Amino acid sequence: MFLETFTKRDEMERASRWILGLVMALLLLGMVMVYSARTVKAARLDGEPMAPLFNHAIKVGLGLAGMLLMMRIDYRALGRHYLKIFIAVTAVLVLVCDCRHESRNGRTAHPRKCPDAGIAKLFV
């Protein structure tokens, strides 16, 4: 009775494919922008002009893999676990955002190195 009010599975898949296509177009545009903005600077600094593009491509690939995984999961099944998911995402965001500490005089000092933040950003 309650599940009949949700969008049908085939309609969700069709919409997901459209969203995936739009996201891929935007990611491609972003890759071109990273290439044009960072290549010359990277070549001057360390001689590796393609390094920023490869780093960005790895992040894009991880993001697309996560998106494809979430496209396969029925969102209604996640509804039972919404509180656990909310707490986990909030904890990851705290790890990412809490990378500053105060010095003795009360001013914010240099950002400390947060080894957990790099890992946490993968999940955000």
| pLDDT for position 5 | 64
Do residues 3 and 76 make contact, with C-beta atoms less than 8 angstroms apart?
A: yes
* Prediction pTM value: 0.58
Give one DSSP letter per residue of the chain, joined into a string: --GGGSPPHHHHHHHHHHHHHHHHHHHHHHHHHHHHHHHHHHHHHHS-TTHHHHHHHHHHHHHHHHHHHHHHS-HHHHGGGHHHHHHHHHHHHHHHH----B-TTSSB-SPPP-HHHHHHHHH-
Give dist(CA 64, CA 30) in Å, integer: 14
Residue 87: the pLDDT is 93
- Name residue, tokens 């600094």: 45
Ranges of the chain whose pLDDT falls below 50: 1, 102-103
Q: Report domain extents, the chain.
A: 7-73, 79-124
What was the pLDDT predicted at 121? 56
